[in-house]
DNA sequence: CGTTCAACCTGGGCGC
DNA sequence: TGCGCCCAGGTTGAAC
């Protein structure tokens, strides 16, 4: 579920935790660890206790809390990866059953990571591990600030479909399945176009569309489709789904040219596009 | 290099 | 009403 606009909205929604000190942590039904060497819940709880949340930032589709302990003033990073159904909440969760982490601060606020499917991850790592895992070699530039030139450089020799490349977090960080379709519709590019056929000019258009769509989606606090789906930190649905031009609209008319929107499958994921006004290069 | 598949999970919706 | 099947916003690693 959560892509860049949703994670950005979550981060803004929990910004009120900055500066607060962690009093209690509970990991009921903790999610599986990203890898066997990840810290266990007990280890994390011990490190988090009486630590201060220094700041909260988004890194691609992850929320990162920088943590500092009084007695060992070295940064560590609490990283949340919501994957499909993870949510960061500061109000009561939809069910108790899927609470993966509950933090109470000394100031009596509650921060909850809730994840119905349990595919999301929580990890607490030091600076060097953080950089090894999430440095620029592992993660492309943020999708909000990608330039056409940077995109062109990254993909010009690739034979992959552009839609599949946009989902690759090494190319650019933050775009997921919903926004990839929306961006290519805005840029008027067929999702099945192979990257090496895209000119610098067309890459400029994709980068511009990327920034416009994502900024608008952030303004609307992300996309919520259905009931058990993404919510803001205070448990409200986002509103950007009202602005979707292609995602989930197969067989409906394109708003731009009235042609029927098509659904195809690429890399085992649904892609929606207008076969008339999105050009194949 | 690129593509496909399975796996990690839960639960909603659908056809029968 | 119940059962089995398919589907879902993400990521990873193995196989071809």
Identify the CATH assignment for A148-273 out of 1.10.8.50, 1.20.1560.10, 3.40.640.10, 3.40.50.1970.
Answer: 1.10.8.50
Q: Is the CB of residue A178 inside 7 Å of nucleic acid strand C?
A: yes
Q: Is the CB of residue A31 inside 7 Å of nucleic acid strand C?
A: no
> b/e map of A171-189 (b: 16 or more CB within 10 Å)?
bbbbbbbbbbbbbbbbbeb
Mean pLDDT for the stretch of residues A85-108: 96
Report pLDDT for A72.
Answer: 80
Nearest nucleotide to A98, CA against C1' atoms = B10
- Strand residue runs (E) in chain A: 22-26, 51-59, 62-69, 76-81, 86-89, 99-105, 110-115, 121-126, 262-266, 269-273
Report pLDDT for A19.
Answer: 98
Catalytic residues of A: 2-3, 61, 269
Q: How far apart are CA A274 and CA A253, in angstroms?
A: 9
Q: Where are the domains of chain A?
A: 4-134, 148-273
Hunting for tokens 């990571």 — which residue is that?
A113
Report pLDDT for A37.
Answer: 81
**Does residue A36 have a pLDDT over 80?**
no
**Does residue A228 have a pLDDT over 80?**
no
CA distances from residue A240 to A158, A207, A260 in whole angstroms, order as listed:
31, 19, 21
pLDDT tier for residue A34 given thresholds of 50, 70 and 90: confident
Element (H, E) at A47: helix A41-48
A216 CA to B4 C1' in angstroms comes to: 34
Hunting for tokens 């993404």 — which residue is that?
A230
Nearest residue by alpha-carbon distance to C1' of B5:
A268
Report pLDDT for A270.
Answer: 96
**Does residue A73 have a pLDDT over 90?**
no
Q: Is the CB of residue A3 inside 7 Å of nucleic acid strand C?
A: yes
- pTM exceeding the 0.95 threshold for the entire prediction: yes
Give bridge partners of residue A89 from the DSSP assignment: A112
Report pLDDT for A57.
Answer: 98
Task: Report the topology of domain A4-134.
Answer: N-terminal domain of MutM-like DNA repair proteins (3.20.190)
Q: Locate A164 and state its tokens.
A: 């599949």
A71 CA to C12 C1' in angstroms comes to: 37
Mean pLDDT for the stretch of residues A76-83: 96
Residue-wise pLDDT for A122-179, tens only, equals 999 999 999 999 999 999 999 999 999 999 999 999 999 999 999 999 999 999 999 9
Phi, psi torsion values for A38, nearest 5 degrees: -65, 150
């Amino acid at each position: 579920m959560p892509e860049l606009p949703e994670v950005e909205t979550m981060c803004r929604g929990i910004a009120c935790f900055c500066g607060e000190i962690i009093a209690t942590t509970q990991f009921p039904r903790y999610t599986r660890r990203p890898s066997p060497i990840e810290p266990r819940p007990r280890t994390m709880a011990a490190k988090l206790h009486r630590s201060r949340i220094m700041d909260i930032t988004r890194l691609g589709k992850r929320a990162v809390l920088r943590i500092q302990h009084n007695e060992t003033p070295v940064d560590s990073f609490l990283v949340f990866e919501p994957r499909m159904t993870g949510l960061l909440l500061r109000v009561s969760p939809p069910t108790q059953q899927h609470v993966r982490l509950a933090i109470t601060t000394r100031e009596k606020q509650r921060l909850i990571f809730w994840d119905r499917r349990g595919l999301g991850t929580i990890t607490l790592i030091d600076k060097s591990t953080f950089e090894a895992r999430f440095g620029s070699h592992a993660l492309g530039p943020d999708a909000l600030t990608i330039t056409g030139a940077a995109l062109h450089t990254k993909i010009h020799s690739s034979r992959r479909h552009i839609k599949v490349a946009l989902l690759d977090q090494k190319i650019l960080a933050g775009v997921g399945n919903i926004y990839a379709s929306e961006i290519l519709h805005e840029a008027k590019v067929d999702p099945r176009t192979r990257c090496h056929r895209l000119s610098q000019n067309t890459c400029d258009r994709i980068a511009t569309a990327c920034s416009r769509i994502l900024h608008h989606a952030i303004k609307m606090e992300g996309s919520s489709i259905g009931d058990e789906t993404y919510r803001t930190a205070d448990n409200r649905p986002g509103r950007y789904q009202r602005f979707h031009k292609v995602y989930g609209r197969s067989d409906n008319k394109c708003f731009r040219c009235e042609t029927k929107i098509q659904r195809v499958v690429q890399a085992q994921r649904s892609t929606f596009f207008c076969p008339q006004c999105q050009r194949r290069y």
